[in-house]
Each structure stands twice: as C-alpha cells, then as structure tokens.
Structure 1
Amino acid sequence: MTVRTAWLLPNGQSREDTRLAPVGTYAAESEMRTRDGVIPGGNPFAAIGAGAMDLQIGTGRAVVQGTDAQGAYPVANDAPVTLTFADGGAQFGRIDSVVLRVFDQLFDVNGQNLARIEIIRGTETAPPLTAPTLPSACLRLWDVTVPAGASAGVGGINWNTALADRRRFTVAPGGITPRGWGLSFDGAYDGQYRDSGTGLERWDAAAGAWKQYPARPTRPITTEQAAEPPLNQTSAFVDFTAAAWPRLTFTVPPSGAVFLTIGGQVSNRTTTASTAWMTWRATGAYTEAHGGRNGISAQGGRVIASRRVYRSGLTPGGQVTLIPGWNISSGASGGTDVFVLNGQLTVEFVQ
C-alpha cells in the first residue's frame, strides 16, 4: 500500500499503518522517519546502581524508530527494571549499552512482538573502548564501562564513573528539542528549534546549519594607538605605522553595514589656523580615503572627541582593513602643543 491511513478504513488497519501515519506525531527526521528518542518529563529512564553488577532503569516513555518500512514505535516503561551485567573480561574492559529495544516478528527473526529494556554487550578490547553497534528498532539510553576483571566478588562496577548518559530527546513538531546526548544531528526542516544547553538554536535549511536564535550580536572590535606619530610631515594625511597603531581587519556582516568610530586627543596651537587630524582609511572589499568624512580635528586648539559614522552597501563576507592616520598643517615635532594621542578605532556590526 502506497498511501496509508489511520482511523479511516472500515475494516481496521495494520500495525504498520498506525505507526507510519502521523498519529501523535513526533519530530520528523526525514519524509518518512521519526526522530526517535526519550519523551521529556521528569527524569525518564534514569539509571541508578542497584548492586555490584546491577543497574536499575526507571520509568519513562519513548519513541523507537525502526526501518523506514517499520515506522516508529511508541513505548512506555511503567515500572523500574533491574539489569545484571556480565563479569568483565580477563584482560580488557568493554562498553555495554543499555537500550530500549522493540521486537517485531514481521520485520526481524526473533519471532516475538514486544518491547524491553536490555543490555547490548560490547567487545572486550584494548583502549580506546567503543560502544557496540545497535540493531534496528533500538534506542540507546546509557553506555556502561565494564572494567577488566569486574565482578560482584571484587567490588563490581563503579557506578559513579562507569555511566555515560546517551539519552536523546524527541518532541512534537514545533516543540523545542531539549538538550540531550550529542548535538551533531541535522535539523529535519527549516525553522526547527532545539536547546543547545546555552540557548536556542534554529535550523537554517539553506545554510545546512544550526544557528543561534535570536542571532548573537557580534561584539564590537577595536584597535588602540600604541605610540605617537613622528609629526615630521605636514599638510598631508599619513598612515600610522602598524607598530604605532595596529591595523584592524574585519569581515563584513550579512547586513553589509557597520558603524565605525574613531576617538582620541588632537591638538595644534602653533598658530590660530594650525590644524591636527586623527583619521582612518579603508582598503580591501571597501575603500575610503583619509579625510573629513571620517576624522576628528582641531584648529588652533585642542579637542578630545570621537566620531561615529555609518557605512552601508558593503559586500557581505568581504574583508576590510582599517588603517589609522594623522595630519598636521604646521608645527612639526617640537611645536607648540602639537599632538595626536590616545586614539581608539572601533567597528560595530549592524545585524
């Protein structure tokens, strides 16, 4: 049957129909697969040491995905289950996995229809140890490191260090997937949300990536003047050396817009008409010369100020380098109250 329906056919429906049709739909993983996982609420399938080699798994609900043809199985565990681990190997340790497993005689060779919590035993090998590969319709809950020689007679398993939480969570479409084990999975549809543990992330299908939501504002970046210019040239704009004032290179944000601020002290009192300038120029994906559009200046006096300008229409992703500069009209080094000091150049990104 190509198109399957639920609660519609007058003569009933197969188990596959019920699983594949979106009855109590959970988050999609593809067109026909459900993201399997533990359903959040309390501490589902919690693990507690119950003896030297015994582990108790608590109650909980989950969805277990089989093959595409099988669909997804809703499962509930309504009472604690105690599992006993086999003794550790004589030479090497291993990792066993505690899983929620579904048996379906229509799709496997076990000849039974049931769900249970069980141990999938790993392979004893030299480090690094790896968890076992799981069969179909099997959801990993916990990994347990079983050391070589571990047994009830010699102290068993240290449950404080042996347990590794492998529960992942699933929710209905539109819900926010809680943080669980592992974040290295793709979203199933554009606009899907998840909790990364530090904030919300939204799946960007076009970019094929999870992105913080709302987008984290990019912090401003800045460069500060480290030394005075030589003031041995006049009436022309001069670049600071990289040692005197480091260049600042930035990547143009997606908006193509930034605020640029330069500030500091400039002074030239050699004559009432004498000037001093502190400026910047841009090179790379955007160019702009030193000049009155982007600098601060003083004429026949001293100024402590900043100037913030807006630049838009830049190429997103382009690299732009800002180079600080200076200019005095007269009164070279040694003149009356002539300086260009304490400069700071800052880029603020417009989102």
Structure 2
Amino acid sequence: MPVDPWAIDGLSLSGLEARTSDAALIMSDGTALGSRSGVRPGDPGLTVSLAGSTINVSAGVAVVAYSGQGVYRAAFPSGVSPGTLTAAHATLPRIDLVYLRVWDNSVDSSGLNKADIVYLAGTAAASPVAPTPAGTQIYMPLATVNVPFSGNGSPTVSTAVRPTTVAPGGILPSTTAPSTPYNGQYWDDGTSLRRWNGSAWRTVSPLTPQITAQVNQPPTSPLSTFTDFVTGDWPAATVVVPPSGMVRITIGGAVGNTDSTTAAAWLGWKAAGAFSETTSEANSVSAVGGRTYASRTVVRTGLTPGASLTITPQWWSNTAGAGRRISNGQLIVEPMPG
C-alpha cells in the first residue's frame, strides 16, 4: 500500500502520517513504529517547582509517544501553573503527580485537540504511591510531589519520573537502562558511559584511578603481624566498584632487609568494604636478606557494583636495624571497565 512521504510538493499528510514519520527522528522504544517519550537532555524546560502551594512549570518542549500514533511534539512557550496543592492529610503522607497531557480527538474522542499540564493529587496512605491519570490516554509524567502529613514538613518535588529522549544513535542519560537496547547503543548511567554489545552493558568511559604515595618509612620497631601504614605515612585509597565488578590494585616500592640472611621485609595491602583481604604472598612484594625494587598487580572480580572499596598499605619486618628499608611506595587502585 503506498503512503504519503515527507516531503513532496502537492501531498497532504494526515496528522497520523506526520506523527508516524516524526518517529524516525526520535529514539526507538524497541517497536517498529514506536519512540521514547521525553524531554531533551540538559534542557531546563518543563521543570516543576513550588511557590508556597502554587505549582509552577517552566516553558519547554517535549515529545510524547503513543503506541500506533507516532510522536506528539508539544511546545509551551511560557511557564504555566496547573493549580495549587491539595491540602495535606491530617495523619498520612501523599504523592501527587504533575504530567503533560495530549488530547487528540481522532484517537480519544475527547472533542479536544490540545496539550496541557495537569496536576493530579494522590491518595493519602501509610505507604503512598503516585496516582495514574484516569481517562487520559496520551501523557508523560513530569514530576511527583511528596506531600507529608500536616505539620510534618514541607512538600518536595522530584523529577525522577520525567523521562529523557534523544535522536537515534544519541547517548541517553538515564538512571535506568534502556529496556530494549540495540547492538551498539550507548547509555550514560550517571557514573559511566555504557555500550550494549548484544548481550550485556559494557563500561567504555574512562574510570579514574586513585593513587597514593608513601611519605615516610614505617616505625623502626619490628612487628610480628602485618600493620597498617598510618595516614600521615602513607594514605589509603578509596574507590567505588564500577558496573563491571572488577578492580585492579598495584603496589610497589623499595623493599629490603640486610640486617641478616634471615631478615625480612614485606610491603602489601589490606582491603575493606567491597571485600576483605590482608597482606599475603598473593598481593605483596618482599625481600629476605637482600633488597628489591618491585611492584605487584592483582585484579579482583565479582565485586558488588556501587560498593565502596578502601585499600590500605601494610608493612611487616622482623628486624629494626639499619638494613631494613620500606620506602618510595606507591599504591594504585583502578576501577576496570567490563
């Protein structure tokens, strides 16, 4: 069946034809004709705020997608107020909703053809949830308003429910991963840049390593157990475990003990937080009756993404003579991409 394409002289497109063609300009929602609703990333428009009990929404533009109908582009050239907050409940909190609504008589038989901003009060409850618009088919949430019970504080606005959208191939900033990613799609999760490889999201953005350097040698007293460097002698390093769950740890320095043929010195580290580990042959450098200038790198996997990990340098020696040396140390802790 032939269709009317953009843009040929003499053709007259219906609203449905124009909206469906516009879908080609907006990120797909994973369906053949569907698109992702949202505001533009970095656009301060359509921001919801409160002035006392008055709800205000700033000027802005958005795309509202509806299944089988393409996309509705709505522009509000000036700020609007959809109303005032309903009074707080005496004993129970409430969550209200502010949303962008599109009326299209050819779709909803409403008798209307317009877009507006709507405020909808929720139901007070011990564990309240945001309301769902009734009788409205085409809409996009802009914000929720958390309304505490009377005398328990002021209402607050959250824009977490407001989606963002980009052109096809654009990098989508969102705290939630796209539900139907395509191979090669990029997504910014707020911490890292991720790429869908067909089966999993892989981190591709540079991840910042934490580096600390040794300031002073450890105390002269010999010890029988591995001991932390104090912060003033050599600070610990703390990182957040990346989505890959992998961290690379490197420690090195000048290590030696020539007090005797059995005199030993060790340099290593301990881990706390995302996992626990102390200095051992698996994560250290050492010398017995001599000296070495070396580093040791290990990779730890299977860690919980988002967990905090602190690596603290440790030392040990069995003598305290002039031949013992643990100096010029450096610790590098690197979150690794997947």
Shorter-chain TM range is 0.5 to 0.7
* One-letter identity of the residue aligned with 2:165: T
Question: Which residue pairs with 1:130 in the alignment?
Answer: 129
- Cα deviation, 1:68-125, whole Å, max 9, x if unaligned, reads x1222111011222222364366545322111111223332423322111123322x3
Per the alignment, do residues 88 and 19 of structure 1 end up closer, same or farther by CA in structure 2, a change over 3 Å counting?
A: same
Structure 1 residue 37, shift from structure 2 partner:
1.2
The amino acid that maps onto 2:97 is S
- Which residue in the other structure is 1:233 paired with? none
User: Normalising by structure 1, what TM-score?
Assistant: 0.60
The residue aligned with 2:167 is 172
The residue number in structure 1 matching 2:203 is 211
SS at match of 2:19: helix
**Residues 25 and 200 from structure 1, CA distance in 2 versus in 1: closer, same or farther, beyond 3 angstroms?**
farther
Q: 1:163 aligns with which of 157, 164, 168?
A: 157
Amino acid at match of 1:163: V
**Within 5 A, what are the aligned runs for 1:138-149?**
138-146=139-147
State the SS of the aligned residue for 1:6: coil
Count of aligned residue pairs for this structure pair: 286
Task: State the SS of the aligned residue for 2:106.
Answer: coil
Distance 1:349 1:59 in 2: 43
Instruction: Evaluate the alpha carbon distance shift between residue 207 and residue 266 of structure 1 in structure 2; reply closer, same or farther with a 3 A threshold.
Output: farther
Question: Which string of whole-angstrom CA distances, capped at 9 and with x for unpartnered residues, describes residues 105-150 of structure 1?
Answer: 3332423322111123322x32222211245421111223456679
C-alpha displacement at 1:36, in angstroms?
1.3
Residue 176 of structure 1 deviates from its aligned partner by 4.1
In structure 1, give the amino acid aligned to 2:139. Answer: C
Distance 1:228 1:149 in 2: 64
Q: Write the distance in 2 (CA, Å) between the matches of 1:164 and 1:256.
A: 34
2:60 aligned with 1:60, yes or no? yes
Q: Report what 2:120 is aligned to.
A: 120
CA RMSD in angstroms, aligned pairs only: 4.9
How far 1:162 moved relative to its partner?
3.2
Return the offset for 1:163: 2.5
Give me the whole-angstrom Cα distance separating, in 2, the residues matched to 1:207 and 1:229: 51
Alpha carbons 1:88, 1:94 under 8 Å: kept: no
Does the CA contact (< 8 Å) of 2:177 and 2:189 recur in 1?
Answer: no
User: What is residue 234 of structure 1 aligned with on the other side?
Assistant: none
Q: Which has the larger radius of gyration?
A: 1
- Residue pair 1:33, 1:65 contacting (<8 A) in 2 also: yes
Structure 2 CA distance for partners of 1:54 and 1:6, relative to 1, 3 Å: same
Distance 2:258 2:143 in 1: 69
C-alpha separation in 2, matches of 1:219 and 1:347: 5
Residues 325, 74 of structure 1: CA spacing in aligned structure 2 closer, same or farther, 3 A cutoff?
A: closer
Unaligned runs of 5+ in 1: 151-157, 231-242, 282-288, 328-332
Match of 1:286 in 2: none
Matches within 5 A, 1:217-296: 217=209, 228=222, 243-244=225-226, 261=252, 263-269=254-260, 274=261, 276=263, 278=265, 295-296=286-287
Q: Find the residue that maps to 2:97 and give its secondary structure.
A: strand
Deviation at 1:2, TM superposition (A): 10
Moved more, 55-64 or 130-139: 130-139
User: Where do residues 45-84 of structure 1 align in structure 2 (5 Å cutoff)?
Assistant: 45-49=46-50, 53-67=53-67, 69-84=68-83
What percent identity do the matched residue pairs reach? 21
SS for the counterpart of 1:16 is helix
The reply to whether residue 186 of structure 1 matches residue 178 of structure 2 is yes
- Cα distance change, pair 16–216 in 1 and its aligned pair in 2 (3 A): farther
Q: Following TM superposition, by how much is the alpha carbon of 1:306 offset from its aligned partner in structure 2, in angstroms?
A: 2.8
Contact 1:95–1:145 (Cα < 8 Å) also in 2: yes
Maintained 8 Å contact 2:222/2:316:
no
Q: Is contact 2:39-2:163 (8 Å) kept? A: yes
Give the Cα separation in 2 of the matches to 1:80 and 1:137: 21
Call closer, same or farther: CA 1:3–1:42 in 2, change over 3 Å. same
TM-score (norm 2): 0.61
**Which residue, out of 307, 316, 320, partners 2:294?**
307
